[in-house]
A and B are shown apart, each in its own frame.
Chain A
Amino acid sequence: MEQILARAKKIAEEAEIFEVSSEETQVRFEANRLKQLQTNQTTGVALRIVKDGRIGYATTTGTGDADELVRNAVETAEFGTVARFQLPDTHDYPAVKTYDPAVDSVSIKEMIDLGEEMIAAITGHTPGIICEAGVSRGAVSVRIMNSRGGRAEYRKSFFSLDIEGNLIEDTDMLFVGESESSCHPLSDPEKVTDMVRQQLDLAKNRAKAPTRQLPVVFTPNGVGSALILPLMSALNGKMVLEGASPVGDKVGKTVFDKTFTLHDDPTVAYRPGSRPCDDEGVPSQRTPLIEKGVVRGFLYDLQTAALAGTVSTGNGSRNRGGLPAPSPTAFIVTPGRTSFDDMVADIKEGLVVEQLMGAEQGNVLGGDFSGNVLLGYKVENGKIVGRVKDTMVSGNIYEILKNIAAVGSETRWISSFLRTPPIYCKGLAVSSKG
Chain B
Amino acid sequence: MPEINVIAHGLAGKLKKSRSDYLEARFEENQTSHITYRGKGLESIGRATAGGGNVRALAKGGWGFTSFNSFDDVSDRVALAEEQARAAGSGKSSLAEVEPAVDDVPGGSAKNPVDTPLAEKKKLLDEYNDIIWSIPQIQTSTIGYSDSHKKVIFLNSEGSYITQERADVALRLTAIAAKDGEVQQVGLSLGSRGNFSAIEGLHQQIEEMARHAVELLSAPQAKGGEYTVVLDPVLAGVFVHEAFGHLSESDFVYENDRMRQIMELGKQFGTKQLNIVDSAAEPGLRGSYKYDDEGVPAVKTYLIREGRLVGRLHSRETAARMKEKPTGNARAINYRYPPIVRMTNTYIEPGTVTFDEMIADIKEGIYAKNWYGGMTSMEMFTFSAGEAYMIRNGKIAEALRPVMLTGNVFTTLKNIDVIGNDLDMNQGGGCGKGGQSPLPVSNGSPHIRIQQCLVGGK
**Residues of chain A at the chain B interface (Cβ within 8 Å):** 27, 30-31, 33-44, 55-62, 65, 68, 72-73, 75-76, 78-81, 108, 112, 128, 130, 166, 168-173, 175, 211, 238, 241-244, 246, 321-323, 357-358, 360-363, 365-366, 370-372, 374, 389-390, 392, 394, 429, 431, 433-434
Contact = CB atoms under 8 A, between A and B. Distances in A.
Contact of B46 (A31, A59, A108): A59
A370 B375 CA distance: 13
A362 B378 CA distance: 20
24 contacts: A27-B88, A33-B90, A36-B64, A37-B64, A41-B69, A42-B69, A57-B46, A59-B47, A59-B49, A61-B50, A61-B69, A72-B49, A76-B45, A168-B259, A243-B139, A243-B178, A357-B377, A358-B382, A358-B384, A361-B375, A363-B401, A366-B184, A392-B224, A431-B225
A115 to B, nearest CB: 11
B407 A390 contact: yes
B204 interface: no
Contacts of B33: 76
A56 B35 CA distance: 11
Contact of A61 (B42, B49, B382, B410): B49
Contacts of A112: 87
B456 A370 contact: yes
Contacts of B6: none
Nearest to A241: B39
A58 B48 CA distance: 5
Contact of A358 (B49, B66, B139, B406): B406
Contact of B119 (A41, A68, A79, A170): A79
A41 B47 contact: no
Nearest to A168: B258
Contacts of A371: 382, 404, 406, 456
Interface in B334-364: 336, 338
A80 B49 CA distance: 18
Contact of A38 (B48, B52, B84): B84
A384 to B, nearest CB: 21
B256 interface: yes
Contacts of A246: 181, 183
B163 to A, nearest CB: 20
B457 A372 contact: no
B44 A36 contact: no
Contacts of B397: none
Question: Which of B63, B183, B256, B457 neighbours the largest number of chain A CB atoms within 10 Å of its CB?
Answer: B183
A179 to B, nearest CB: 13
Contacts of B255: 30-31, 130
A210 to B, nearest CB: 12
B27 to A, nearest CB: 13
Given A41-B67, A168-B256, A390-B454, A374 B377 contact: yes
A241 B70 CA distance: 41
B85 A374 contact: no
A59 B456 CA distance: 43
A79 B42 contact: yes
Nearest to B378: A173
Interface of B: 1, 33-34, 38-39, 41-52, 62-70, 80, 84-85, 87-88, 90, 118-119, 122, 139-140, 176, 178, 181-185, 224-226, 255-256, 258-259, 262, 336, 338, 372-375, 377-380, 382-384, 401-402, 404, 406-408, 410, 452, 454-458
B84 A365 contact: no
A62 B51 contact: yes
A109 to B, nearest CB: 8
Contacts of A169: 258
Contacts of B401: 363
Contacts of A81: 41-45
B226 A372 contact: no
Contact of B380 (A244, A372, A431): A372
Contacts of A374: 377, 380
Contacts of B39: 241-242
Contacts of A61: 49-52, 69
A394 B69 contact: no
Question: Which of A38, A56, A246, A374 neighbours the largest number of chain B CB atoms within 10 Å of its CB?
Answer: A38
Contacts of A243: 139-140, 178
A365 B216 CA distance: 14
Contact of B34 (A36, A62, A322): A322
A36 B88 contact: yes
Question: Which of B33, B34, B47, B255 neighbours the largest number of chain A CB atoms within 10 Å of its CB?
Answer: B47
Contact of A323 (B44, B84, B122, B375): B44
Contact of B372 (A35, A166, A361, A389): A361
B44 A39 contact: no
Contacts of B51: 61-62
A43 B51 CA distance: 10
A143 to B, nearest CB: 16
Nearest to A356: B382
Contacts of B90: 33-34
A60 B457 contact: no
A374 B373 CA distance: 17
Given A37-B63, A130-B256, A363 B184 contact: yes
6 smallest beta-carbon distances between A and B, as pairs: A358-B382, A31-B255, A361-B373, A431-B224, A37-B84, A361-B384
